[in-house]
Chains A and B, each alone.
Chain A
Amino acid sequence: MLALKFPPINELIRWKDIFPGFNKVGLIAVLAALIGIVVFLLAGRKDPLVAPTGVRNLAESSVTFIENDIVMQTMGKDGLPWTPFLLSLFIFVYLCNLPGIIPVFQMPATARMAIPLFLALVVWVIYNAVGFKHNGIKYITGMAWPHGVPVAMRPLVGIIELLSNIVLRPFSLAVRLFANMLAGHMLLITFAFLTNALFFAETKQLALKPMSILPFFMLIFLTAFEVLVGLLQAYIFTILTAVFINSAQHPEH
């Protein structure tokens, strides 16, 4: 019935090894890390007295963005020491998302589970360590036996709190980034396939061929949409990290 043969998902997101154990996704992740490091080293070494231009302008505006829109909004003034960590997280996730729409690469590195999972585990270790450092053993007992809740409800709320803080948070953090990027990647693939199938369809109805412009327009629109999604997901990943660290530091609020 359907002339369109959609390839199985393993063909869409698995790449051949460039050399053993290292494929395009790995290359994109390494490049993202390198580009981030190089841009910020270039921005950092210049004379601070001169008015910022070029790369330094970019770096300064991203630092301001992290400080004003993420740290100050969620953690307040005492969260400012976390700016470097959140900034590197944001830049890395964003540069991993961006290749999803850059020709030649056409694959967001975060659309494979490894990178989001690893980042979420790093965040998990950090916010739990911060919680134990600031509150000691009260970090766990405060979650398992919450004050400000009627005594009869405490075991139930405690179990929910423990589960959501220890298990569900890193899981949903990783799955959110992964699934969003994978969904965007598959949307782009779907419309690229539709364009291709309509244009090269073996049919006698010539009127079908010009119709391939419709999925093509949708493809262009979705590519523009993916720029927004990549930025938004990096922003959400960073802001959730900030919220988790803050709630581990001050569990009462």
Chain B
Amino acid sequence: MEAFARLIAATPVQTPDDAKAANAAIGAGFAYGLAAIGPGIGIGYVVGKAIEAMARQPEAAGMVRTTMFLGIAFTEALALIGFVVFILLGL
């Protein structure tokens, strides 16, 4: 990780504190990026299937929409936990 930080930063890492901050920033970026992959796929799947259901049975659209929002809310929670970790690491 440290070598990676040195590679990206324009100025070389000077003190241990600098290195720590750089590592924390990179870790935070990875944490959020990785946490967003799964929920991204999941939400796409949920919404896609919901649209399919609504197109096949427009009269059930209200019920499908409610369930879709529930599904999105549960899936999204994982990404949001990643976001909180991102904030905590970035501090």
Contacts and interface: CB of A to CB of B under 8 A. Distances in A.
Interface of A: 1, 8-10, 69, 73-74, 172, 175-176, 178-180, 182-183, 232, 235-236, 239-240, 243
B22 to A, nearest CB: 12
Nearest to A113: B84
B70 A180 contact: no
Cβ-closest 8 pairs across A and B: A1-B10, A179-B80, A73-B66, A172-B77, A236-B73, A179-B83, A179-B84, A176-B77
A182 B81 CA distance: 12
Contact of A235 (B62, B69, B76, B83): B69
A9 B70 contact: no
Interface of B: 9-11, 62-63, 66, 69-70, 72-74, 76-77, 80-81, 83-84, 87, 90-91
Contacts of A175: 77, 80-81, 84
12 contacts: A1-B9, A10-B91, A172-B74, A175-B84, A176-B77, A180-B80, A182-B83, A183-B83, A236-B72, A239-B70, A239-B73, A240-B73
Contacts of B83: 179, 182-183
B69 A9 contact: no
A9 B89 CA distance: 11
Nearest to B84: A179
Contacts of B81: 175, 179
Contacts of B10: 1
Given A175-B77, A176-B73, A176-B77, A239 B66 contact: yes
Contacts of A74: 66
Interface of chain A, main secondary structure:
helix
Contacts of B66: 69, 73-74, 239
A232 B70 CA distance: 11
B90 A236 contact: no
Contact of B69 (A10, A172, A178, A239): A239
A27 to B, nearest CB: 24
A200 B5 CA distance: 30
Contact of B62 (A73, A176, A243): A73
Given A9-B91, A176-B76, 16 more contacts: A1-B11, A8-B91, A9-B87, A73-B63, A74-B66, A175-B84, A178-B84, A179-B81, A179-B84, A180-B80, A182-B87, A183-B80, A236-B69, A236-B70, A239-B69, A240-B73
B70 A243 contact: yes
Nearest to B76: A176
A179 B11 CA distance: 33
Contacts of A69: 62, 66
Among the interface residues A8, A73, A235, A240, which one has the most CB atoms of the partner chain B within 10 A? Answer: A73
